[in-house]
Structure 1
Amino acid sequence: MTDLAVGVEGGLLLRVLSALLREDVVGWRTRSSVVREADGSWLRLPVPVPGPVPVPVPGSHGDALLMPVCPDGYQGTYAARLPLLRRESDGAELTDAGGILRALRDLADPVDRGGFDAFAAECGQALDAMRLHAGTRSETDALLTRCYGGDPGTWTGLGGGLAHDTLAARADHPVYPTSRGRSGLSADQLRAYAPEFHPTFTVRQLALPREAVAVVGGSSDSDAWLSPAAAGVPGLEGSHLVLPVHPLTADGPLRDALREAGLGGRARLVEGPGPDVVPTLSMRTVALSSRPADHLKLPLATATLGLRNRRTIKPGTLVDGAAGQRLVEAVIAREARFRDVVLHADETRFAHAGHELIAVLLRRYPAGLDGSAVVPMAALLCPAPGTDRLVIDHLAERFYDGDPLALLDAVLALLFDWQTTLFAHGIALESHQQNISLVLDKPARGGGDRRTRLRLLLKDNDGPRVNLARLHDVMGQQALDGAEFDDARIFVDGDRPVLDLFTTITLHLCAGSYAFGLARHGRAPLPRLLDLVRDRLAEAVERLGTGPGEPGALLRTHVLDAAELPVKAMVTAGTLLSKERSGAADINKHYTTGPNYLRRTGPS
């Protein structure tokens, strides 16, 4: 059932129920049984009777909650098919997120019930955002059309990429059900600063004593980009550095952050505005209006994709992002076919004052992209301005003779070749749809090769998983030392955690979601699209070798032919349970299992 058929609130509730089922919240997977009714299948979850255990009545089974379900196959065996739960005893239907979560809260361990309250609030924030998006679509479409034209296939350069970010910010995450909500922000703040509205605003500037700021990267004058002269602040040269600050941070929690960092009486906000910027898909990262290839990643005291997924910037993640970039570049240097094909933004310049709200990353994109279409993968299934046609349709029309499957085919071939090569080095990246952009170039007229040139543009690789033993076996002395990273969780024993990350990010989010999504939009039958995903992955696996112990054999066994695949349990780890209760060492890498939609069990 589509969001159009059930409305905005119903569409959100379908995703919420499906996520709770997938993650086995209060036992929806493991304690329920299938009940067949005239309208379809329902899952029946027994509800314990409160108070003293009553004397059993012959033929009585107690009360239960019923969820209407249909076959899924992407992340779970079943998904919700109607936006409701039904109480078996009296037939009452629960049709809003608050009522449903209150009912489930009563079934949870008392220590976990606060997480259900928090998730109910999160659902409310997401619903408010979705209604705001629905009510402002025409306005935003008109703005994008006025600035960039009505055809996303012709939006070029990193400036055009910001327009694609706006479309992507209005779409739902493939897994996390309340992805459009941002905790603690009002509608006015969203309109002023969120990417889905494509605003332009000015950042604030914070003058800090030079000795209080750690600056990393660049040349011998690595702090020149933070100099008072560069910021237009006279009289402080030599004694201070000037850090850009997001207005939401400057007007909110900055005072407390400065006090916590011991800088309460030594720092000051500069009078007057800083540079003009436009928010990117991640919101906390903004592009300079005058130089769209330069982005500033600025901490925000909000959360997305879970209460514990805060948008601040821990200084160690800046170190890890730079090291992750060097790791990727080291692999590219060894594998010649990826040179000038897999690109990476430069993330080696950053500064911080030892606090997660007083930090900045200067991200610089490669030169030479002005004539290219630069499209985050998260935008591919978004509707273009003023139409229900998808961005992938417009890109296919310009670059692949109008065939969106040909575009997907090319993306999968390159993506799987690259990511399986990384796996052979012991590496998996957290390179999801937001962190990979497609770079598409139309062939020059009169040239001999008429094929579209496709490249991948990567960023934000601060959370990889690396099997250090495999990395050293393959790269020897060229391998990065583990000491270059700050987060000890990056390095793992064995291949399993690397396989899990490869599967949940590269396969599910960057491949499987497009097969199921394009099928849902009627572009091709699902079996044909899944065959395409499997065939391109199988080709990449074969290139690695499939003999005993070889990387290709591991991918074949644990991905292509596995009975089940790991699936992110994002609601559980991000909001419902504390880390102590969930056992999640990393809330973005906490898993349950789901069906393997690639597995072939019969004759091919």
Structure 2
Amino acid sequence: MLSALLREDVVGLRTRGAVLHRPDGPWLRLPAGAAGALLLPLAPDGYQAGYAARLPLLVRESDGARLTGPDDVLAALRALADPRDRDGFDAFATECRQTLATLRLHTATHDEVTTVLADRYGPDPARWTGLAASLAYDALAARLDHPVYPTSRGRTGLDEAQLRSYAPEFHPRFALRWLLLPRTAVTTAGDPDGPGRETLATPEPGAEHVALPVHPLTVGGPLDSALREAGLAGEAVLSARPGPVVVPTLSMRTVAATADPRLHLKLPLATATLGLRNRRTIKPGTLADGATGQRLLEAVLTREPRFRASVLQADETGYAHAGHELLAVLYRRYPPGLDGSAVVPLAALLAPAPGGRLVIDHLADRFYGGDPLALLDAFLTLLFDWQTTLFGYGIGLESHQQNVSLVLDRPAAAGTRLRLLFKDNDGPRINTVRLRERLERAAPGPAAFADPRTCGDSDGPVADVFTTITVHLCAGSYAFGLARHGRAPLDRLLELVRDRLTEAVERLGTRPGEPGAVLRARLLDAPRLPIKAMVSAGTLLSKERSGAADINKHYTTGPNYLLPTARAR
């Protein structure tokens, strides 16, 4: 928590503090007025920040008191905050307490859950094949921390019983509910009653109604309020007929139908993760934007045939909503032909598998001769090739660790085949100038997206998304993570990331104004890089105080760990 606050310069930790060099290492001294100075012992970081916090955490200089619990630490920092921001510190303290309870629950249930997964899918995760088994990887990934957000395992307002019943880390099965709404109140795309009526056992709604699946956690107060706000309280009927049986995915609000694992349903939840303001509801406009984004990516794939066999897209063109963020569903369809493949969300690679070894080690044993760096190399080569190609079209995807899966198999006599599977295409950043140059009349304009923040006429927002998502979360975090697990020296891993990124960037052209030149200047050669200020925008500060137009795209800066000089230090 303290490392995140230091990285984001909360209450001026970085800019107001002075580094003191002591025999046991560096300390940060933060003047605190009448209350006296606060001292923070530091350790070298390198991943998005120069320093991280180290034990004994925060020390009051006046009396030497050590503040080691989140409540005491945040109370001391809250006293330094602008009075307008102090409610945010209280909210973050609650978030920390809830996350701490979740961490303890995860520790207590680790053996129980991994035993269930091994019994159901087998002891070797590299042989968990098909989309149904992919959900077991989600269960492991849900027990890992986010690379930079300190309370990522917490979910606002949910108790232990609800987590055990509905959270992905417990791999539960449960039935959805059906809500019958007037057909005139529902906007649909694709099959108006949802795809796979037989698979979902949709109740026959009749000509005047549409059946909308609802998550059990939304039934009750949240659903009642939503229906009142939408003016549908007297017209909606919650069916007594049970909905389809599902298993939660890593995102929790998205669930997979057990009768057809290719069908996932993204459903709104009245909770929040990665920040109090990062609510897990579904704004209706994001559904149409996701479909537009998918069609845009398909247009690029048509013009880039070398990716047709290696980049896979989930179909997100089917959805329904009743004009409210709790009355919506996305019907996500995965491509066929994945039954014999290991479909591994990127977020699961560093998770301990049954038996204790990392998932990436099991995959490396089966597919890359026991060499996890060979797997990382193959993944980075394809990821950077695809994402830099998109940058050349002016597109930056919000394709973080949760939205990218490795698809690994061994076709007969063909050796290992690695493909990437993408989902969640809403929320990109687009440079419309580059997009029109490449796609001409096929390029969607700003009016094609409900979110006015999507489109602009410069490379900056696209490069920021590329850096913070593709580089930091999907590449840099694995270099630092594998080094932390002792798989290779950090310098070697960072050199691999930079080399593969450089190769991809240079394919875009490096003359002034070409996309490759932009990425070289803003990413490969820049002394500092944009990093997400997730705690500040997500919980601590209001949008008015942070100035964040989008809490998921609010940035500060950190040192560029890819610079050769940075590695030499």
- Are 1:155 and 2:128 counterparts? yes
Contact 1:228–1:241 (8 Å) recurs in 2: no
Report the equivalent of 1:600.
564
Report the equivalent of 1:391.
359
Q: CA 1:175–1:317 in 2, change beyond 3 Å: closer, same or farther?
A: same
Contact 2:428–2:454 (8 Å) recurs in 1: yes
Aligned ranges for residues 430-509 of structure 1 at < 5 Å? Answer: 430-444=398-412, 447=413, 449-450=414-415, 452-509=416-473
Deviation at 1:600, TM superposition (A): 2.0
- Are 1:377 and 2:351 counterparts? no
Q: CA 1:425–1:405 in 2, change beyond 3 Å: closer, same or farther?
A: same
Aligned ranges for residues 509-520 of structure 1 at < 5 Å? Answer: 509-520=473-484
- Are 1:587 and 2:559 counterparts? no
Deviation at 1:418, TM superposition (A): 0.4
Report the equivalent of 2:396.
428
Report the equivalent of 1:405.
373
Among candidates 81, 87, 109, match of residue 60 of structure 2: 87
Query: What CA distance in whole angstroms lies between the structure 1 residues aligned with 2:276 and 2:567?
Result: 46
Q: CA 1:489–1:369 in 2, change beyond 3 Å: closer, same or farther?
A: same
Q: TM-score, normalised by structure 1?
A: 0.92
- Deviation track 1:61-111 (CA, whole Å, cap 9, x = no partner) reads xx2101111111111000012152000011000010001101111100001
- Are 1:244 and 2:213 counterparts? yes
Deviation at 1:429, TM superposition (A): 0.3
Among candidates 223, 231, 255, match of residue 193 of structure 2: 223
Query: What CA distance in whole angstroms lies between the structure 2 residues aligned with 1:196 and 1:601?
Result: 40
Q: CA 1:228–1:160 in 2, change beyond 3 Å: closer, same or farther?
A: closer
- Are 1:277 and 2:246 counterparts? yes
Query: What CA distance in whole angstroms lies between the structure 2 residues aligned with 1:506 and 1:461?
Result: 14
- Deviation track 1:266-288 (CA, whole Å, cap 9, x = no partner) reads 01111131110000000000000
Deviation at 1:231, TM superposition (A): 3.9
Secondary structure of the corresponding residue to residue 313 of structure 1: coil
Query: What CA distance in whole angstroms lies between the structure 2 residues aligned with 1:44 and 1:560?
Result: 33
- Are 1:364 and 2:313 counterparts? no
Secondary structure of the corresponding residue to residue 253 of structure 1: helix
- Are 1:200 and 2:185 counterparts? no
Secondary structure of the corresponding residue to residue 497 of structure 2: helix
- Structure whose alpha-carbon radius of gyration is higher: 1
Deviation at 1:559, TM superposition (A): 0.3
Contact 1:226–1:241 (8 Å) recurs in 2: no
- Deviation track 1:251-298 (CA, whole Å, cap 9, x = no partner) reads 331011101101101011111311100000000000000100100111
Report the equivalent of 2:138.
165
Q: CA 1:407–1:229 in 2, change beyond 3 Å: closer, same or farther?
A: closer
- Are 1:346 and 2:310 counterparts? no
Secondary structure of the corresponding residue to residue 31 of structure 1: coil
Among candidates 9, 14, 33, match of residue 18 of structure 2: 33
Contact 2:199–2:259 (8 Å) recurs in 1: no
Among candidates 317, 337, 347, match of residue 306 of structure 2: 337
Contact 2:195–2:318 (8 Å) recurs in 1: no
Secondary structure of the corresponding residue to residue 318 of structure 2: strand
When structure 1 is superposed on structure 2, of 480-489 and 587-596 the one drifting more is: 480-489
Q: CA 1:375–1:554 in 2, change beyond 3 Å: closer, same or farther?
A: same
Deviation at 1:226, TM superposition (A): 8.5
Deviation at 1:225, TM superposition (A): 3.7
Aligned ranges for residues 275-314 of structure 1 at < 5 Å? Answer: 275-314=244-283
Q: Residue type matched to 2:275 in 1? A: G
Deviation at 1:327, TM superposition (A): 1.2
- Deviation track 1:317-351 (CA, whole Å, cap 9, x = no partner) reads 10111111111111111111111211110000000
Report the equivalent of 1:100.
73
Query: What CA distance in whole angstroms lies between the structure 1 residues aligned with 2:200 and 2:194?
Result: 7
- Deviation track 1:361-398 (CA, whole Å, cap 9, x = no partner) reads 100000000000100000000001131x1100000000
Query: What CA distance in whole angstroms lies between the structure 1 residues aligned with 2:452 and 2:363?
Result: 41
- Are 1:575 and 2:539 counterparts? yes
Report the equivalent of 2:153.
180
Contact 1:227–1:237 (8 Å) recurs in 2: no
Report the equivalent of 1:20.
5
Query: What CA distance in whole angstroms lies between the structure 1 residues aligned with 2:196 and 2:129?
Result: 30
Secondary structure of the corresponding residue to residue 488 of structure 1: coil
Contact 1:166–1:196 (8 Å) recurs in 2: yes
Contact 1:316–1:487 (8 Å) recurs in 2: yes
Report the equivalent of 1:10.
none
Q: TM-score, normalised by structure 2?
A: 0.98
Q: CA 1:262–1:256 in 2, change beyond 3 Å: closer, same or farther?
A: same
Contact 2:405–2:422 (8 Å) recurs in 1: yes
Deviation at 1:240, TM superposition (A): 1.1
Q: Residue type matched to 2:358 in 1? A: L
Root-mean-square deviation (CA, aligned residues, Å) is 1.5
Deviation at 1:35, TM superposition (A): 1.2
Query: What CA distance in whole angstroms lies between the structure 2 residues aligned with 1:347 and 1:311?
Result: 18
Identical residues among aligned pairs (%): 69
Deviation at 1:548, TM superposition (A): 1.1
Query: What CA distance in whole angstroms lies between the structure 2 residues aligned with 1:404 and 1:178?
Result: 28
Report the equivalent of 1:253.
222
